[in-house]
Amino acid sequence: MLLNNSEVYMKERYLSVTQAAQLLGISKQTLIRYENRKLFPAARRNALNGWREYTEDDVKNLRSIMGRTR
Query: With contact defined as beta carbons under 8 Å apart, do 19 and 51 qualify?
Result: no
Task: Say what the pTM is.
Answer: 0.78
Length of the chain: 70
**Residue 2: Cβ-neighbour burial (10 angstroms; 0-12, 13-18, 19+):** exposed
Q: How many domains does the chain have?
A: 1
pLDDT one-digit tens code per residue, 24-69: 999 999 999 999 999 999 999 999 999 999 999 999 999 999 997 6
Report the CATH number that the domain containing residue 28 is assigned in CATH: 1.10.1660.10
Domain limits for position 62: 5-66
